[in-house]
Structure 1
Amino acid sequence: MQFFKHDAELVRLLATCEAEVARARTNDDLLQVIGRLQSFKGGLKFDHAQPLVLVMLAIVSAIPAMAGVVVMWFIAACFGVASLIIWMSRKATFDEMPKRIARKCSFLSNGLWDPGGTAEERFTQLSGEFEDYERGNDSRRIVDSAGGTYQGSRHQLPFVFHHLRYVNSHYKSKSDGESERVYESFDRFSLVVDFPWVTGVMVCSDLPKKKRTKPKVFETTSDDFNRNFIFTGDDLACAKFATPTTLAFLLRLCRQLKKVNLEFSSEGRLCLSFDDAEVMAYKDPGTFEDLSGFYANIKRGLELPGLFPVLALVHELAELHDNNFDLPMKVADEMEQ
């Protein structure tokens, strides 16, 4: 059994490290995980002893199968499939570990946290509050989420970032006259921010194809704005929202974010959605192929240079519409992180 020992120990190590990454509260915790990986004897590569043995058994089983023992085809196939599953699962675990560490490092470096609950629960809540999530006629799901609080000069803005994946399907005719179902996936991103100053207004440069109701468009005095956005909502709320300064701000925003939408719900929250993946992007810290370099990058922390400028824009919009509300409490210096 010594033949299988290295792979078994590496599997246990990766499982332990995965749990420790999930529990990590500081970058030092992550560095300790990487240190354990660095000190692992035998190197961070699977020998694939078990899959190789299963492949050999599959080959041996195929010999009597070719001689006419039909049941041996089934046994050979089982050995072959088991070998493939084990090999792929171990490779996936190994490839995902540096990504998990990098994601957690980006959270810890920027004061973010997991918002809790399942992705399905979060999507159900969001789709019930915002029409912007009515996309994808085949499937729709949240890939990842991150919560945080942005502290501006005047307001504290709790937010949750969501990465969503939608799938549309349609039938396409082939040259032989038959039709086949074609699937097309696309990603979209959103920031859901506590925003009590505006409710019941929607400003879209990219309307969802499937709408609950046909919107009544509110025309502003700006032709440039009317060409770039579809502006809907209660007439009084729209008129109050559409100040010249706000319209100029939104035109600037649509030049900075691709296919940007703003939806202000009746519950006092803003859904700012867009197509820009780089908003939540961080520099790739590398892989386990260069553990010392990976360690150094995690030690430095992973900044999110695209996120906070967008949150600053949301704060700027809040400053344009906060005159009738008490300011939310600022983050006190003594608050726990």
Structure 2
Amino acid sequence: MPSLIDVYRPKTSHNARLDKLLAVSEASIERAESNTDLLDVIHGFASHKGPLEYDRTLAWRFFGTGLLLIASAVGLYWIGHVYSVALFFYRLEIDPDSFGTGTGLLGIVLVVWSLAWMKSKSDRLPALSKRIARLSSYFHNGLAFLKEDSATTLKKLDTEFGDYRRGDHSRALLKSIQGVFNGTLRNLSYTYRQLHYVNRREVETTVTDEKGNTKTETRVVHDHYDRYSLVIDFPWVTGISVRSDYQTQNDYSHPMDTASPDFNKAFHLSGRSEMLCAKFIKPSTVLHLLKLFDILERPNLEFSDSGQLCLSFENNDLFAYGAQHSLSSPNYFHAEISAGIELPRLMSVLQWSHELSELHDDNFSALPHTNRQEK
């Protein structure tokens, strides 16, 4: 349904043409499969004749009219009880109170409608720009969303990693993204996952009734959390857990302290055997693991028997990007998207993981390139 502003605009107006451009572009973005598709959309904005913003002249007129009506209603309220004024309205068979109320309500409607219209229109171009930049970051870095059943995937992950066994009330995978990091020595296949889990607890509170009597009531509280992780192909280490949070289900049966007080304070190390722990925790590995706190919050590492590393953390901004331009300057935006949007935080974590693989691959042999997809 067209808005009040659109009703009073000719169909060939600047706003109508911009509306059509945005609608077509939004639909194209939903179907985009490559960076080229994104560039085609941006080209449409570069070719658009006229400013890439809505004409708000009529909206401001509605807004001003609304304010005048509200002011008139307030004025009428104050002078409506003056005998001569009231008599004037009654001679016209108009109730001054009802007239003032109606005038005020109409003014409020016009003010709210015009502000809502301007807000909705001003949000469309920035929202589309962000959508394009986000998709470009996925395409440029070779990322693909996985469609999977959350319960089935979690059941499989549970057999390999303790970090996913969180949430005594409920849990679910909200997002799974797959990619390959092209390192200097090898390629590392990885899957990013966002786990949402809920813990249930009971809280006792003291309540007082209207008579002043107190009693203790128990209510249930559900605490919601998110945990993020990267599952990386990592065949060089198995049967080891290094955790910095409370998730004791990650632990193996053989804990070990190191010669580094800083490491022992930051991490809990355990393994399937003392020999595996001793082989893993070399001085260079101790220093490298401590560097992880520079890029991740509360990191945990689990090296499974199947040659997979689960690196989990609390950061929710692993896919943060820094686009400098938008569709409001389409030529600059086109150049930026053409170059590809980088994901510096994700790349930092993956580069750290690649360096860890160098520390534990005695042969420095390249890992065969795979495009394995978890099922």
Shift >6 Å, 4+ stretches: 1-6, 8-12, 37-40, 285-288
- State how far apart, in whole Å, the 1-side matches of 2:353 and 2:41 are: 37
1:133 partner amino acid: Y
Deviation string 1:265-301 (CA, Å, 9 cap, x unpaired) is: 111011111122333211267887x484866654453
1:136 aligned to 2:167? yes
Q: Find the aligned partners of 2:187 and 2:217 in 1 and give their Cα distance.
A: 57
Match of 2:320 in 1: 281
Is the 2:243–2:269 contact (alpha carbons within 8 Å) kept by the matching residues of 1?
yes
Aligned to 1:84: none
Shift, 1:25, TM fit: 2.0
Name whichever of 143-152 and 305-314 sits farther off.
143-152
2:258 aligns with one of 204, 220, 224: 220
Match in the other structure for 1:204: 243
Structure 1-normalised TM-score? 0.68
Question: 1:164-187 CA deviation, whole Å, 9 max, x = no partner?
Answer: 323223222333132332232222
Equivalent position SS for 2:264: helix
The answer (yes or no) to whether the contact 1:150–1:156 under 8 Å persists in 2 is yes
- What do the CA deviations read for 1:52-84 (whole angstroms, capped 9, x no partner)? xxxxxxxxxxxxxxxxxxxxxxxxxxxxxxxxx
8 A Cα contact 2:137 2:340, kept in partner: yes
The whole-number CA distance in structure 1 between the counterparts of 2:335 and 2:185 is 36
Closer/same/farther in 2, CA of residues 218 and 116 from structure 1, 3 Å limit: same
Query: Which residue is 1:31 aligned to?
Result: 39
| Same amino acid, percent of matched pairs | 36
- The alignment partner of 1:267 has SS state of coil
- The answer to whether structure 1 residue 162 and structure 2 residue 212 are counterparts is no
Partners of 1:167 and 1:96 lie apart in 2 by 31
Q: CA deviation at 1:196?
A: 0.4
CA gap 1:14/1:183 in 2 versus in 1, 3 angstroms: farther
Change (3 A) 1:326 1:219: same
Q: Provide the residue aligned with 2:105 in structure 1.
A: none
1:147-296 matched pairs, under 5 angstroms: 147-176=178-207, 177-208=216-247, 211=249, 215-235=253-273, 236-283=275-322, 290=328, 292=330
- Read off the aligned partner of 2:174 and give its amino acid letter: V
Structure 1's 168 and 283: CA in aligned 2 closer, same or farther, altered over 3 A? Answer: farther
The alignment's TM-score, normalised by the length of structure 2, stands at: 0.62
Q: Report which of the two structures shows the higher radius of gyration computed on alpha carbons.
A: 2
Mark the CA change 1:97 to 1:181 in structure 2 (over 3 Å): closer, same or farther: farther
Q: How many residues end up aligned between the 2 structures?
A: 281
Q: Secondary structure at the match of 2:318?
A: helix
Partner of 1:321: 360
Pick aligned residue for 2:146 from 104, 113, 116: 116
Q: Is the 8 A contact 2:252 2:272 kept in 1?
A: no
Residues 128 and 14 (structure 1), Cα distance of their counterparts in 2 relative to 1, 3 Å cut? farther
Give the structure 1 partner of residue 177 of structure 2. 146
Whether the aligned pair in 2 keeps the contact of 1:145 and 1:162 (CA below 8 Å) is yes
Q: Please list every run of 5 or more consecutive structure 2 residues that lacks an aligned counterpart in the other structure.
A: 55-119, 208-215, 371-375
CA RMSD in angstroms comes to 3.8
The one-letter amino acid of 2:31's match is E
Please report how far the alpha carbon of residue 113 of structure 1 lies from its aligned counterpart in structure 2 after TM superposition.
2.2
Deviations 1:1-40 (A, max 9, x none): 999999x98998477435412xx122x2113235568869
User: 1:20 corresponds to which residue?
Assistant: 31
Q: Is the 8 A contact 2:251 2:270 kept in 1?
A: no
Assess if the C-alpha contact under 8 Å between 1:195 and 1:269 holds in 2. Answer: yes
For 2:186 and 2:339, how far apart are their aligned partners in 1? 29
